[in-house]
Amino acid sequence: MFDYHALLPEFILGATLLVVLGVDLLVAPRRRWLAGAAGIVGLLAAGVPLLTLAGVGGTREMFAGSYVVDDFALVVKGLFLVAGAIVLLASMSYLRGDRYYEGEYYFLILASIAGAVVMASARDLITMFIGLELVSAPAFLLAGWRKGDLRSNEASLKFFLIGVLSSAVLLFGMSLVYGTTGESTFTRIAGATAAVSGESAFVLGVLFTLVGFGFKIAAVPFHFWAPDTYQGAPLPVAAYLSVGSKGAGVVGLLTICYSAFAGARDVWGPALWVLAALTMTVGNLTALRQSNVVRLLGYSSVAHAGFILVPFAMAAAFEGPALEEAFFGSLTYLLVYAFMNLGAFAAVIAIAERTGSREIDDWAGLARYSPTLATLLGVFFFSLAGIPPLAGWFAKFVMFKAVLGDPGNAWGVSLAVIAAVNAVIALFFYARVLKAAFMDPAPESLPEGAPLSRPLAAALVITLAVTLAAGFYPQLLAFFGEAARGLALP
Amino acid sequence: MTVTAGWYLALAAVLFVVGASGLLLRRNALVMFMSVEIMLNAANLSFVAAGRQLGVLDGQAAVFFVMVVAAAEVVVGLAIIVTVFRRRATASVDDLAGLKG
């Protein structure tokens, strides 16, 4: 029943949470960063059992099939651990300058990561709900971290109300699925769907579940909270929300749709098609007229959620290898997106510290006085836009390849056309920021900014290395996407 | 007339709609939050009714987890609302419109 090896990452994370609180209690306020360092060590230590589990291989089921550690779970857990470590690195200097609580911040980020790690293995309605809440609840508090800042308060209140609303919708959907199928474990729900697939209560349950996850991944029309929350929240928290929290939502959606609702593909397929098309288009078009870089990244992350949904939406029409390819496309997009978006946020944190502003106009002439930061910004923004040879092109490539898996399918082709148009629109707003940074004249009096702190530099180096390496050598991340595709098989 | 599980599910649906309307129509953050709690409890009722009808305890067990999660959310939510209240001395969400675009 208890497979200690399979649960070791969760145990290590739990222990790390306590250690972080202890360190925060014992060290002098000046050295609170040690709590963050302990957190990073804990995240990396939790990654070790993932490697040994991958070495042993195989699928481990626990608690009557409600908690499964397979290759998909390992890959996704690894992603969340690494993303968490990068966020902690990017947070350290920001918190120092902010003069708010430090140790508790690291604790809450780690708690949220622990939730994401649980989500990766959850194969049961309630386990998934608990995991998702563990991801969200600390994030509500983190969004309002700057207690004295009214914008931060507003961000956290909006995020909280929308977050609990989405949880309630999700839970009601789950209760309908449970009521109609009589099962709560995903594999058994899938086995029972054939008998109830026509029932309106079941269809409603599936749709409510989709809406609940739609809020979590900020898909249009459930996206309106995201740019507000990103703008008001502390910058590293916005980075975490756009990768960790959104990633957990995508992982939950992938797991539940592919395993529990495998027999209801005709319900979620068309719904996701509409969601994907709307999300890409609205996200990109709204991003065009933003003057604040963080808001722009908020809408860009909404648009990327749409791109992630593109292959996924077509899964309903596919069979066999194409269905698997769609799963691979969505997951690989998520992997690439996580690194380049964290990198983009780390660069924005560094530049915001240097220039003291988050407005695009204030970044004019950045390349003159801070060429390194400007170049980094260029790399990550072009990668987000999908320009070769940066990692983003590969994400877009697998996405288009997957959605065109059946060239005769008009829905797939039209979705690919919408995605292509959106990829071009996206290039405009990323390039607009870079134009200000590289081509506009620098102001007369250069802003007096702090030098780049070492943890933030480390975060930038890691994300830059992955973004460049995965662009030149796509197998680097594709390998993990390949390993995880087993979940798509019936 | 016997009260079957269907009635309970219908009541759950009504509660859910009441909660959702409250969230959309009311402007006080506390009342909005209470509306969400009604929605969560609608889901709970639906879980219990379904579990009772199916003759398994999964549905009832689920409710315990949801109640604990809801309690945790109350802690987080009240903390956030109190923080806002301290700054603005109001819990109306209409006064919070600094983030736009």
B82 found inside a domain: yes
pLDDT 10s digits, A310-335: 988 887 778 777 888 888 889 999 99
CB B87 within 8 Å of CB B68 = no
Query: A160 and B16: CB-CB below 8 Å?
Result: no
Contacts of B90 (CB under 8 A, 6+ apart): none
Burial of A7 (0-12, 13-18, 19+ CB in 10 A): middle
Give the ipTM of the model, two decimals please.
0.93
Measured distance CA(A162)–CA(A224) in Å, rounded: 9
- Count of structural domains, chain A: 1
Range of the domain at B64: 28-89
Among chain A residues, CA nearest to B63: A126
Residue A490 scores a pLDDT above 60:
no
Q: Closest Cα to residue A251, out of A69, A392, A116, A58?
A: A116
Measured distance CA(A161)–CA(A433) in Å, rounded: 32
A24 found inside a domain: no
Tell me, rounded to whole angstroms, the distance of Cα A86 from its chain centroid: 13
Contacts of B53 in chain A (CB under 8 A): 179
- Residue A196's pLDDT is 81
Residue B1 scores a pLDDT above 80:
no
Query: A153 and B42: CB-CB below 8 Å?
Result: no
A115 found inside a domain: no
In which element (H, E) is residue A68 found? strand A67-69
Q: What are phi and psi of A164, to 5 degrees?
A: -70, -35
Collapsing DSSP to helix, strand or coil, A67 comes out as: strand
Would you call B54 an interface residue with chain A, using a CB distance cutoff of 8 Å? yes
Query: Which residue has better confidence, A281 or A262?
Result: A281
- Which of A104, A146, A152, A164 should one mutate to test binding to chain B, selecting the residue with the greatest count of B CBs within 10 A? A164
pLDDT 10s digits, A191-220: 888 788 778 889 999 999 999 999 999 988
Measured distance CA(B69)–CA(A229) in Å, rounded: 22
Collapsing DSSP to helix, strand or coil, A61 comes out as: strand
Range of the domain at A437: 261-485
B85 found inside a domain: yes
Using CB atoms, pick whichever of B72, B73, B81 lies closest to residue A157: B81
Would you call B22 an interface residue with chain A, using a CB distance cutoff of 8 Å? no
- Residue B98's pLDDT is 67
Measured distance CA(A177)–CA(A209) in Å, rounded: 9
**Residue B38 belongs to a domain with what CATH number?**
1.10.287.3510
- What is the nearest CA distance from B1 to chain A, expressed in angstroms? 23
Contacts of A147 (CB under 8 A, 6+ apart): A100, A153, B83
Measured distance CA(A367)–CA(A347) in Å, rounded: 13
- Residue A488's pLDDT is 66
pLDDT 10s digits, A342-352: 999 999 999 98
- What is the nearest CA distance from B3 to chain A, expressed in angstroms? 17
- What is the nearest CA distance from A150 to chain B, expressed in angstroms? 7
A287 found inside a domain: yes
Would you call B79 an interface residue with chain A, using a CB distance cutoff of 8 Å? yes
Can you tell me the mean pLDDT for A296-323? 88
Residue A46 scores a pLDDT above 90:
yes
A174 found inside a domain: no
Q: Closest Cα to residue A345, out of A83, A117, A135?
A: A83
Query: B76 and A160: CB-CB below 8 Å?
Result: yes
Would you call B49 an interface residue with chain A, using a CB distance cutoff of 8 Å? yes
Measured distance CA(A378)–CA(A381) in Å, rounded: 5
B43 found inside a domain: yes
Q: What are phi and psi of A69, to 5 degrees?
A: -110, 100
- Residue A446's pLDDT is 76
B61 found inside a domain: yes
Residue A248 scores a pLDDT above 90:
yes
- Residue B86's pLDDT is 84
B11 found inside a domain: no
Q: Closest Cα to residue A78, out of A286, A208, A251, A329?
A: A251
- Residue B29's pLDDT is 86
**Please, which pLDDT band fits residue A476 given cuts at 50, 70 and 90?**
confident
- Count of structural domains, chain B: 1
Average pLDDT, chain A: 89
Using CB atoms, pick whichever of A133, A172, A182 lies closest to residue B46: A172
In terms of DSSP bridges, do strands A60-62 and A67-69 run parallel, antiparallel, or are they unpaired?
Answer: antiparallel
Measured distance CA(A125)–CA(A481) in Å, rounded: 24
Whole-model pTM above 0.90?
yes
- Residue A334's pLDDT is 93
